[in-house]
Structure 1
Amino acid sequence: MSSCPARHRRLRSRPLLVPVLPALLCALLGLGAPTAAADPAGGADAAGGTAGARVARLYQEAARASEAYERGRLAAAEQQAKAARIQRLLALERQRTHALHRDLGRLAREQYRGSGGLPYAAGMLLAADPEEMLRGSRIAAHANLAVDNAVTRSRTAARRLAASEREAAVARRALDRQTAALDRLKKSVKERLGQAQWTLQGEADQAVAAGSCPGATRPEGPEEPAPGPWVAPVAGYQLSAGFDSAGAHWSHRHTGQDFAVPIGTPVRAAGAGRVVRVSCGGGFGMEIVLAHPNGYFTQYAHLASPAVDQGERVRAGQRIGQSGTSGNSTGPHLHFEVRLTEEMGSAVDPVPWLAEHGVVVGDESGGGDGSGAGGGG
């Protein structure tokens, strides 16, 4: 019985609530703010940004919200584990409290039996000599002390049990509120991103129909350096149509590798080079072609917006555009080609070519927040 208060102190010394969740909510309040509406006439929001810039900002917000949501999910799992430990300790407290109540009853019964069925006080009054009365007085004092200690322990355990149950209930309610708030935040960013993505795609379709590409939408803030001299053209993708496959959407065999990604996904230069073409129109919709120092060319097609201008020098991993579904496309994806010349008809299979340059291409988990499945083209 003496180890119970020590265990309880260890339990109480560890906070029930995980402090990271309120901090995440405070840090992310700005993510829930509404984005300025698009201008139907020019596709620019009230702050002067294009739909492409708005999508890029929302992708950053979605990434931060997803990161916060994941941290909150891990914190929730930790809190649930703590709650389970508390419940186990509460069960032990209940057992101890029940045992104390049994002890009280046992002591009371022993008192009564020890006096021949009479209370100790009556037994002492009926004692035949003073020595018997003193012995009875000592026995009564010890019995009363044991009873008092048992009553004190029982009351302390009952108060401790009630306090722990209240703390556990408060922790559960706080956790539920914080998890729900993070979930609403993530859904809000996802909904706004979805709306902005299709606004961006609508502008891309208009540009392709007119045969005139919009100006470059430059990324905001510094970009992370590439992990090597060559990189995959997108992240968070799933592979769809491969090189040399047949389909009703192609007049001949498929000349590239399709990466299924949501509209607005950043498209990166596979390697350092020079922009030799930024064009809109035809089956490829909005496309960019890069010339690389090793004599090869790479093409990035069905884009929603460019982030570079023709003649510009780019580095490996630099964002050169945003993916879309412009031109002859059945869904959001990036059509990626590796060519021997700038023009069509000289394509090689990009997957083994990338592998030869240190980039292993395979399905990646997660496609970002927004419209996902890609098609051929």
Structure 2
Amino acid sequence: MRSPRRSPLHVPVFLCAVALLLARPAAADGGSGGGEADSGVSARVVRLYEDAAAATQRYEAVHREAEKQLARARRSQRLLAREQKRIAGLHDDLGRIARAQYRQVGGVPYAAQIILADSPEELMRSQHVFSQANLAVETMAAKSRRAESRLAEDQARSSALWRDLEKRNRKLAGMKKAIQAKLDEARRVLQKQADASAAAGTCRSAVHLDEASPKTGRPWVAPVRDYRLSAPFGSGGTHWANRHTGQDFAVPIGTPVRAVGAGKVVKVTCGGAFGMEVVIEHPGGYCTQYAHLAAVTVNQGDRVATGQWIAQSGTTGNSTGPHLHFEVRVTPQLGSGIDPVPWLTARGVKL
């Protein structure tokens, strides 16, 4: 079993169609109105999730480019250091040649060398050797100087680009922070409405959003896309009468909750230990429960497809923090639960 730790700002692809959403209040099980307000807040949360995800993607793209530029700058520095070392070696060689020349001729002026040479051929050979050696060293030194100049220019360009990328990073980080603040406020409003519904024991009207038909390509999916597995099935704790009856998915308030498979909504209720909850019956007799919700997007009796958005996560009912409580049952009622992880695994869903 894996426990993915993914960024809570990533939004499922199918939610892109939410930009065309239209609120359609519909009476829920024991509904009492308020659908239009709920729809506005729910839609706002989703749009902010999308904005935050887009800002995060832009930030990460710029950050990756900055890292590449930093790596190039560091490579340039290493090349420059090696080139400087090679130039220093060439300068040492040039000094040794000069000293060797001085020792061989004893510092005698060129005119005296002509007079003292045993033969013109010997003098020419000696001067030719020295001239060739000097020319080779000077050529190599000139090449090294040009290379050093180019590397210095590359380093300056890389440093300038790095500073620019850092500036853009700071700007994008500010954008993310501003979006996060708006998202947190929208989540608080959404949860406040959900708490009021749970306290009253009646669900507000379902928040219906026009969205494209889900195209998962699979018969079964996980109930949320971005999550951390928390309390497992059968675990003990003071919050449960006996043992934990489901698998918890730690997600922020407002996270879209999906139907794990096609089926019929047989229960939508508010209040009690589970707070706002949805129960779906699937072909073959199994039922799945989604609890501690902040908003629902379906009504009792609705038919749902695999991956369809049915709710938004929250922390209503007997909950210590934002998460989705997910159960698999052999009947719609509490007390018939089985471990959801192997059940989903057997259907090709790896958590």
TM-score normalised to the size of structure 2? 0.73
Between the aligned partners of 2:144 and 2:329, the Cα distance in structure 1 is 83
Contact 1:107/1:147 (8 A) holds in 2: no
Structure 1 position 205 matched with structure 2 position 195:
yes
1:93 aligns with 2:79: no
What is the rounded CA distance, in whole Å, between the counterparts of 2:235 and 2:147 in structure 1?
74
Contact 2:79 2:151 in 1 (8 A): no
Q: 1:53 to 1:102 in 2, by over 3 A?
A: same
Shift of 1:97: 1.9
Aligned match of 2:20: none
**What residue is the counterpart of 2:315 in the other structure?**
325
Report the CA distance between 1:90 and its aligned residue.
0.9
Equivalent residue, structure 2, for 1:214: 204
Show the counterpart of 1:299. 289
Contact 1:237 1:259 survives alignment (8 Å): yes
Of 278-287 and 218-227, more deviation after overlay is shown by 218-227
Asked if residue 286 in structure 1 is aligned to residue 276 in structure 2, the reply is: yes
Contact 2:297–2:309 (Cα < 8 Å) also in 1 = yes
Find the partner of 2:45 among 36, 55, 58.
55
Alpha-carbon shift at residue 302 of structure 1 (Å): 1.0
C-alpha contact (below 8 Å) 2:69/2:158 kept by paired residues: no
Alignment-derived partner of residue 341 in structure 1: 331
- Give, in whole Å, the separation in 1 of the partners of 2:213 and 2:325: 23
Separation in structure 2 between the aligned mates of residue 145 and residue 244 of structure 1, nearest angstrom: 84
Partner of 2:26: none
Shift of the 145–255 alpha-carbon distance from structure 1 to 2, 3 Å rule, reads closer
Q: Which runs of 5+ in 1 are unaligned?
A: 1-41, 362-377
The structural deviation recorded for 1:357 is 3.5
* 1:6 counterpart residue number: none
Post-superposition Cα deviations, 1:338-372, rounded to whole Å, max 9, x if no partner, equal 334334344444334334434344xxxxxxxxxxx
Q: Any conservation in 2 of the 1:337–1:348 contact (CA below 8 Å)?
A: yes
Q: What is the alpha-carbon distance in structure 1 between the residues aligned to residue 101 and residue 109 of structure 2? A: 7
Q: Separation in 2 of the partners of 1:181 and 1:285?
A: 40
Using structure 1 for the length normalisation, give the TM-score.
Answer: 0.69
Partner secondary structure for residue 354 of structure 1: helix
Question: In structure 2, the residue corresponding to 1:50 is in which secondary structure?
Answer: helix
Using the alignment, how far apart are the partners of 2:166 and 2:199 within structure 1?
50
> Over aligned residue pairs, what C-alpha RMSD do you find?
3.7
C-alpha contact 1:305 1:321 (8 A) present in aligned 2? yes
Are the structure 2 counterparts of residues 172 and 102 from structure 1 closer, same or farther at C-alpha, using a change threshold of 3 Å? Answer: farther
Structure with more contact order per residue of length (Cα contacts < 8 Å, sep ≥ 6): 2
Secondary structure of the residue that 2:83 maps to in structure 1?
helix
* 2:271–2:317 contact (8 Å) kept in structure 1: yes
Counterpart of 1:197, as a letter, is R
Structure 2 CA distance for aligned equivalents of residues 264 and 143 of structure 1: 78
Q: Compared with structure 1, are the counterparts of its residues 44 and 98 closer, same or farther at alpha carbon in structure 2 (3 Å cutoff)?
A: farther
Letter in 1 for 2:159: A
Superimposed CA distance per residue, residues 276-304 of structure 1 (whole angstroms, 9 cap, x where no aligned partner): 33222222221112222223322211100
- Displacement after TM superposition at 1:334 (Å): 1.4
Q: Structure 1 residues 118 and 337, CA, compared in 2 at 3 Å: closer, same or farther?
A: same
Write out aligned runs for 1:147-226 (5 A).
149=139, 152-153=142-143, 155-218=145-208, 222=212, 225-226=215-216
Q: Within 5 A, what are the aligned runs for 1:18-57?
A: 50-57=40-47
Q: Secondary structure at the match of 2:325?
A: strand
Instruction: Spell out, residue by residue over 1:207-227, the C-alpha distance to the aligned partner (whole angstroms, 9 max, x if none).
Output: 222344333334575465235
- Distance in 1 between residues matched to 2:248 and 2:132, nearest whole Å: 88
Cα deviation for residue 305 of structure 1 reads: 0.7
The 1:164–1:141 alpha-carbon spacing in structure 2 relative to 1, beyond 3 Å, is same
Q: Which residue of 2 aligns with 1:265?
A: 255
2 CA distance for matches of 1:72 and 1:78?
Answer: 10
- Written as runs of structure 1 = structure 2, the 5 A alignment for 1:227-266 is 227-251=217-241, 253-266=243-256
In the alignment, structure 2 segments of 5+ residues that lack a partner are: 1-33
Contact 1:231 1:359 in 2 (8 A): yes
Identify if the C-alpha distance between structure 1 residues 111 and 206 changes in structure 2 by more than 3 Å, giving closer, same or farther: same
Compute the displacement of 1:306 (Å).
0.9
Looking at structure 1, the residues matched to 49 and 213 of structure 2 have their Cα atoms a distance apart, in angstroms, of 14
Q: Is the 8 A contact 2:259 2:310 kept in 1?
A: yes
Provide the rounded CA distance (Å) in 2 between the counterparts of 1:164 and 1:152: 18
Moved more, 126-135 or 264-273: 126-135
* Identical-residue share of aligned pairs (%): 52
